[in-house]
Amino acid sequence: MDETPSPATPDDEVFDSRRERRWRLAVGADENALAESDRKLSAALTALYGDGDAGKKGRGGLGRSSPRAIAHWIGDIRSFFPQHVVQVVQKDAFERLGLKRMLMEPEFLAAVEQNVNLVADLVSLRGAMPEKTRALARAVIGEIVAKLMERLERKTAEALRGALDRSRRTFRPRYRDIDWPRTIGANLRHYQPEYKTVVPERLIGFMRRQRRLVDLDEIVLCVDQSGSMASSVIYASIFAAVMASIPVVRTRLVCFDTAVADLTDDLADPVEVLFGIQLGGGTDINQAVAYCAERIERPLKAHLVLITDLYEGGDEDDLLRRLAALARSGVNIIVLLALTDQGQPGYSESTAAKVAALGIPAFACTPDMFPDMMATALRRADIAAWAAGADIKLARAKEG
């Protein structure tokens, strides 16, 4: 019998490579022998569990780090592990490194950058927080959300309610529609020297262009809440809350991983919405789109904005069939691969190409561009032309 070993297959080589990588991480190999991503992984775990030397207590040094370093560590952990592992590691960090105590100190949250990423960190940690800490985190999230809404609300409302028509004038304008140069010019004779100001007797302003409400009916934001989409789901929740306050549209917010959560009833309180999302977990886009499809009452007046990186863990073929059927029924579908300040997503290029082949636009969008994009969608104007004008790259269908 020939006992010559059979040649190694590619699968064997992959297995050996993975096994070697695991051993390097397990025994604490020299950092120079690790890939960059593995060095970050090793550093993140060492900070919590120590370097594993028998003569040491196995306790890391994260608890003595600055708040900014801890916030960065939280982000690293979330990028390395699936959600169920992240929850275990974060709970260990709270217990071993005194993070509960640090989060109870206002100085900690004051020192960390107050932005969407902090909101994501606090939302993902809420399950491990004591009740008092959760109340403090809710207050901090409320402050950040209030600032974001102040930045985004006016532009969004303007886009949905109607833009200014600068070709027509009115003498009874709303305060924010006043044409101040013309108003001051027309009232110069009413200048008050003692006050060094003009007291206008007649206001001149811009009229609003009234849009037909036929398309301003139903907006469904269907948002992937897997870990990689953290910033997107937070921005989407804020926009949903803004749009829900505008009476000319009906807004529904649906978040999903492998389960579906309809947060529409909470839209009056954006902070409550954010505490209702579950960052992390798997992804079943098809199930979420099916849920939304069942709740669309009038397809010709419906706009489905699907916010996801398109890494489908469910039935991709059924997802594509469902999207095609919705588009044929008249639903205006847009796929946002990210809704982030960076606007540079990682996404499934193959699935995006298949979506594009259905005639459904797929692209990334920044929060500042979202109101204009939404206004374009509500007019059922050419999204591709809008994206080209905004220098946004759309996903393309594969040729052939």
Tell whether the model's pLDDT for residue 381 goes beyond 90: no
pLDDT of 163: 39
Residues 73 and 105 in one domain: yes
Spatial contact of 211 and 160, defined as CB atoms under 8 Å apart: no
List the CATH number of the domain containing 246: 3.40.50.410
Asked whether residue 65 is domain-assigned, the answer is yes
CB atoms within 10 A of CB 327: 16
Mark whether 239 and 368 lie in a shared domain.
yes
Render pLDDT for 276-305 as a digit per residue (tens, 0 to 9): 777 666 789 999 999 999 999 889 989 999
Return the C-alpha torsion angle 270, 275, 276, 282, nearest 10.
Answer: 120
Q: Are residues 95 and 232 in the same domain?
A: no
pLDDT digits (tens, 9 = 90+) for 314-326: 999 999 999 999 9
**Higher-scoring residue by pLDDT: 178, 2:** 178
Cβ of 250: how many Cβ atoms within 10 Å?
A: 17
Asked whether the beta carbons of 296 and 331 are under 8 A apart, the reply is: yes
pLDDT reported for residue 336: 94
What is the average pLDDT value for the chain, to the nearest integer? 76
User: Residues 183, 69: one domain?
Assistant: no
Q: Does 152 map to a domain?
A: no
Task: Write out pLDDT tens, residues 5-16.
Answer: 555 554 544 444
Instruction: Give yes or no: residues 262 and 125 share one domain.
Output: no
Spell out the alpha helix ranges (H) of the chain. 10-27, 36-49, 67-80, 83-96, 99-104, 106-111, 116-125, 131-161, 180-186, 230-244, 270-274, 285-295, 316-329, 349-357, 370-378, 383-389
Whether 52 is in a domain gets the answer: yes
Write out the residue range of the structural domain in which residue 187 sits: 164-208
Give the DSSP letter of residue 213.
T
Least confident range of 130-134, 262-266, 376-380: 130-134
- 270 and 341 belong to one structural domain: yes
Q: What is the pLDDT of residue 185?
A: 80
Asked if residue 295 is part of any domain, the answer here is yes
Residues 173-229 have pLDDT tens digits of 776 677 788 888 888 888 888 877 877 877 877 665 544 444 447 899 999 988 678
- The DSSP secondary-structure symbol of 330 reads T
**Residue 307: inside a domain, yes or no?**
yes
| Pair (383, 308) in one structural domain | yes
Residues 175 and 50 in one domain: no
* pLDDT at residue number 326: 97
CA proximity to 116, closest of 87, 138, 148, 91: 148
Q: What is the pLDDT of residue 323?
A: 97
Per-residue pLDDT of 122-161, as tens digits, reads 777 666 666 766 777 788 888 888 888 777 777 787 777 6
Residues 222 and 356 in one domain: yes
Domain total in the chain: 3
Q: Is there a single domain that holds both residue 172 and residue 284?
A: no
Q: Indicate whether 190 belongs to any domain.
A: yes
- Other Cβ atoms less than 10 A from the Cβ of 279: the count is 24
Same domain, 47 and 184: no
Q: Would you say residue 282 lies in a domain?
A: yes
Asked whether residue 316 falls in the same domain as residue 182, the answer is no
CA atoms of 294 and 296, how far apart (whole Å): 6
